């Protein structure tokens, strides 16, 4: 059901470009894009039109979400929050009564502007534009190198108030993560004490088969139509990317068979997922999605996506820097410091794991810098510094402090100082749902611009809005500017539904538009 300004209404698209047949929504969409030619006399803009046809299976699939790192702060919080929402749980705090919600989820709590109805602007909930899963529909399980049940993990995470933890106990205590793969060299050495739930042996081919079997068993047990494996385990160090190791699917599979040291646990999970027809999403910053994994995903027609949930400090930056550059203000210095006290912070306190995070946090401004040659004629990035410190006392309540210094008019300077308390798991968990929900939606869509319907590219770049370092199809640009990413996503779902989202020109307000 759609709703306009809080009143629930069905969204019925009256258009010759839309038809529903056998549970499939077919829509035709004219995609207008400009082509360019730089010639001696200047930049020529040639508007083109491309006729797309989309087919969207209307009924969402029965979907399982397998979390790698299920016993972590994000994993236990994301799992517990679904039960809290399913049962409409409330809990007391000193501020009053809290009720479960899905705030922070784009798919569940944002709206899309469709236009003006003559009296008021029309906004429709994102989730009402085309049928999508609710997080309540997700069947969750997963793996962890630590054997704490999810009630114990929730207590360890220190995210939820005690009353809520106790209400969730009967639901979470029975959930014990499946044993996982542990290769000490890939995560911080300070994680070793946690590893008491580990698959025996050190044969990577056997580990691959073990994880594949786990995925198959989960799918059969719940009679699932769609399985998504999502990495929310610790940040790994980057792996080498080299010919003969992992730049092709064939080399990657052979490297696993040869038990190559450089094959990481997250590589194994990604390969296992793909070979079992499950989609794979990387919520952490390491470079799991090597070329061999992308090629394997394409060969098996599954989606992969990543990297690194865009949850707090970087999410703010991806909107704020866009605002600055769009305002013609030139960021000269961006210093992003944060401290956090959860296990993620502990893992990131070691150099190689921090380096993975530093990379994903640092590249977020590149597209905005490249967008403005007036401010940045040489595309020289602002000074950009990322600092992360581990301070146990603050636990999951990360404290981010940023300073932005901009050049402004006539040699002036404008300095912004931002303090941003990011409840990390409460900001990341909604993104976990969105990544799964959008991946499941994409699995129901095919398109054609010629004769044959086909799925989207295996690298699911529509997930960019939710990720710090979006992985995109080879040869395509990375977009990090938050509102442009939101626009891309909202324009796609409205096109699937069979109508263009509003152009936001609002020309009807300063011209005489015939009724
Ligand atoms: N706001 C956020 O919380 C946020 C934002 C962006 C990225 N991330 C990333 O998400 C990940 C999880 O964050 P978190 O706060 O839940 O961390 P966490 O340390 O609480 O949870 C990670 C879990 O993964 C487990 N683990 C480690 N290696 C594993 C393996 N090989 N297989 C299975 N489990 C394994 C650990 O035992 C732990 O329980 C981190 O990589 C973090 O950088 C978090
Ligand atoms: O998403 P964001 O707040 O910019 O970045 C965060 C890091 O700064 C932080 O160290 C850790 O909390 C999370 O892993 C997250 O990645």
The whole-angstrom separation of Cα 160 and Cα 162 is 6
Contacts of 9 (CB under 8 A, 6+ apart): 1, 2, 3
Collapse the DSSP code of 217 into the 3-class scheme (helix H, G, I; strand E, B; otherwise coil) and give the result: helix
Ligand having the closest approach to the CA of 388: 2
Q: What are the contacts of 472-481 at 24+ separation with CB within 8 A?
A: 474/294, 477/367, 478/363, 478/366, 478/367, 479/367, 480/318, 480/363, 480/364, 480/365, 480/366, 480/367, 480/368, 481/318, 481/319, 481/321, 481/322, 481/367, 481/368, 481/371
Domains and CATH numbers, the chain: 4-59+497-509 (3.30.2360.10), 63-109+127-309+426-482 (3.40.50.720), 313-423 (3.30.360.10)
The whole-angstrom separation of Cα 369 and Cα 381 is 6
Strand residue runs (E) in 256-396: 279-282, 304-306, 330-340, 383-390
Q: Which residues line ligand 1 (CB under 6 A)?
A: 68-69, 71-75, 143-146, 180-182, 187, 194, 232-235, 265, 283-284, 308-309, 311-312, 342-344, 347, 424-425, 427-428
Collapse the DSSP code of 491 into the 3-class scheme (helix H, G, I; strand E, B; otherwise coil) and give the result: helix
Among 436, 437, 440, 435, smallest CA distance to 56 is for 440
Q: What are phi and psi of 448, to 5 degrees?
A: -145, 145
Q: Whose CA is nearest to atom 11 of ligand 1?
A: 232
Collapse the DSSP code of 503 into the 3-class scheme (helix H, G, I; strand E, B; otherwise coil) and give the result: coil
Distance 347 CA to ligand 1 centre (A): 9
Q: What ligand 1 atom has the least distance to the C-alpha of 195? A: 37
pLDDT for 487: 95
pLDDT for 9: 58
Q: Ligand 2, from 316, 388, 430: best to mutate by most atoms within 8 Å of Cβ? A: 388
Among 70, 54, 65, 62, smallest CA distance to 15 is for 54
The whole-angstrom separation of Cα 30 and Cα 153 is 50
Q: Which residues are known to be catalytic?
A: 308, 357, 398, 468
Distance 383 CA to ligand 2 centre (A): 19
Q: Are 269 and 289 in contact (CB under 8 A)?
A: no
Distance 69 CA to ligand 1 centre (A): 6
Q: Are strands 63-68 and 226-231 parallel, antiparallel or unpaired?
A: parallel
Which residues on neighbouring strands pair with residue 37, listed in sequence order?
Answer: 44
Question: Distance of CA 34 to CAs 40, 45, 47, 48, 486, Å?
Answer: 19, 6, 4, 6, 21
Question: Distance of CA 43 to CAs 34, 80, 100, 281, 489, Å?
Answer: 12, 55, 53, 39, 29
The pLDDT averaged over each successive group of 10 residues in the chain (515 residues) is 45 93 96 96 97 97 98 98 98 96 98 92 95 97 98 98 98 98 98 97 97 98 98 98 98 98 98 98 98 98 98 97 98 98 97 94 93 92 96 97 98 98 98 98 96 97 97 95 96 95 88 84
* Percent of residues in the chain assigned helix, strand, coil, to nearest 5: 35, 25, 35
Strand residue runs (E) in 285-425: 304-306, 330-340, 383-390, 397-407, 413-423
Q: Which residues of 148-165 are buried (b: 16+ CB within 10 A; e: fewer)?
A: bbbbbbbbbbebbeeebb
Q: What is the pTM of this model?
A: 0.97
Among 228, 247, 96, smallest CA distance to 161 is for 96
Distance 197 CA to ligand 1 centre (A): 15
CA 57 to chain centre: 23
Tokens representing 293 are: 């994994």
Largest CA distance in the chain: 75
Q: What ligand 1 atom has the least distance to the C-alpha of 312? A: 1
At 298, which helix (H) or strand (E)?
helix 291-299
Q: Are 159 and 152 in contact (CB under 8 A)?
A: no
Q: What ligand 2 atom has the least distance to the C-alpha of 468? A: 1
Q: Whose CA is nearest to atom 2 of ligand 1?
A: 424
Residue whose token pair is 């944060």: 338
| DSSP states of 166-197 | HHHHHHHTT--PBPB---GGGS-GGGGGG--S
Strand residue runs (E) in 203-329: 226-231, 279-282, 304-306
Q: Are 251 and 245 in contact (CB under 8 A)?
A: yes
Which residues on neighbouring strands pair with residue 66, listed in sequence order?
Answer: 141, 229
Which residues on neighbouring strands pair with residue 417, listed in sequence order?
Answer: 403
Other C-beta atoms lying within 10 Å of the C-beta of residue 99? 10
Ligand having the closest approach to the CA of 312: 2
Ligand having the closest approach to the CA of 156: 1
Q: Are 233 and 240 in contact (CB under 8 A)?
A: no
Helices (H), 398-470: 424-442
Q: Which residues line ligand 2 (CB under 6 A)?
A: 310-314, 338, 340, 344, 348, 357, 361, 388, 398, 422, 424
Distance 358 CA to ligand 2 centre (A): 10
Ligand having the closest approach to the CA of 428: 1
Tokens representing 375 are: 């401010």
Distance 87 CA to ligand 1 centre (A): 27
Q: Whose CA is nearest to atom 14 of ligand 2?
A: 344
Contacts of 229 (CB under 8 A, 6+ apart): 66, 68, 215, 269, 270, 272, 273, 278, 279, 280, 281
The whole-angstrom separation of Cα 352 and Cα 347 is 10
Q: Are 398 and 421 in contact (CB under 8 A)?
A: yes
């Amino acid at each position: 059901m759609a709703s306009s300004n809080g009143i629930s209404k069905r969204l019925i698209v009256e258009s010759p470009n839309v038809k529903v047949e056998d549970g499939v929504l077919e829509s035709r969409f004219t995609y207008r894009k400009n082509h360019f030619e730089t010639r001696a006399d200047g930049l020529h803009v040639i508007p083109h039109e491309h006729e797309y046809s989309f087919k969207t299976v209307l009924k969402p699939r029965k979907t399982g979400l397998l979390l790698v790192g299920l016993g972590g702060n994000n994993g236990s919080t994301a799992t517990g929050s679904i039960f809290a929402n399913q049962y409409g749980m409330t809990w007391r705090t000193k501020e009053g009564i809290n009720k479960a919600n899905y705030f922070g989820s784009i798919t569940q709590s944002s709206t899309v502007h469709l236009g003006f109805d003559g009296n008021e602007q029309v906004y429709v909930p994102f989730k009402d534009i085309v049928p999508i899963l609710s997080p309540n529909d997700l069947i969750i399980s997963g793996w962890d190198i630590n054997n704490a049940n999810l009630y114990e993990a929730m207590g360890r995470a220190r995210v939820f108030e005690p009353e809520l933890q106790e209400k969730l106990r009967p639901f979470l205590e029975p959930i014990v993560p499946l044993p996982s793969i542990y290769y000490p060299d890939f995560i911080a050495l300070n994680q070793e004490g946690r590893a008491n739930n580990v698959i025996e042996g050190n044969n990577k081919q056997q580990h691959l088969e073990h994880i594949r079997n786990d995925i198959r068993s989960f799918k059969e047990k719940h009679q699932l139509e769609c399985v998504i494996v999502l990495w929310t385990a610790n940040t790994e160090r980057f792996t080498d990317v080299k010919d003969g190791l992992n730049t092709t699917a064939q080399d990657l599979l052979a490297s696993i068979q040869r038990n190559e040291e450089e094959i990481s646990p997250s590589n194994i999970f990604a390969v296992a997922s793909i070979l079992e027809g499950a989609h794979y999403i990387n919520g952490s910053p390491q470079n799991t999605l090597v070329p061999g994994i992308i090629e394997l995903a394409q060969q098996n027609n599954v989606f992969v996506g990543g990297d690194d949930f865009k949850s707090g400090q970087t999410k703010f930056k991806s909107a704020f820097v866009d605002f600055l550059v769009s305002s013609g203000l030139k960021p000269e210095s961006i210093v992003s410091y944060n401290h956090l006290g959860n296990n993620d912070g502990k893992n990131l306190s070691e150099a190689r794991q921090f380096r993975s995070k530093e990379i994903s946090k640092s590249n977020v401004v590149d597209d905005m810098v490249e967008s403005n040659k007036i401010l940045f004629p040489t595309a020289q990035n602002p000074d950009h510094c990322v600092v992360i410190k581990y301070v146990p006392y603050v636990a999951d309540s990360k404290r981010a402090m940023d300073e932005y210094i901009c050049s402004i008019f006539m040699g002036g300077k404008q300095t912004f100082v931002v303090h941003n308390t990011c409840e990390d798991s409460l900001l990341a968990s909604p993104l976990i749902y969105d990544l799964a929900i959008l991946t499941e939606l994409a699995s129901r869509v095919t398109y054609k611009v010629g004769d044959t319907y086909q799925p989207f590219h295996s690298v699911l770049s529509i997930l960019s809005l939710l990720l710090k370092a979006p992985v995109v199809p080879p040869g395509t640009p990375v977009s990090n500017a938050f509102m442009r990413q939101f626009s891309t996503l909202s324009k796609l779902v409205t096109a699937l539904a069979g109508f263009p989202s509003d152009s936001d020109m609002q020309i009807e307000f300063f011209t005489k538009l015939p009724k």
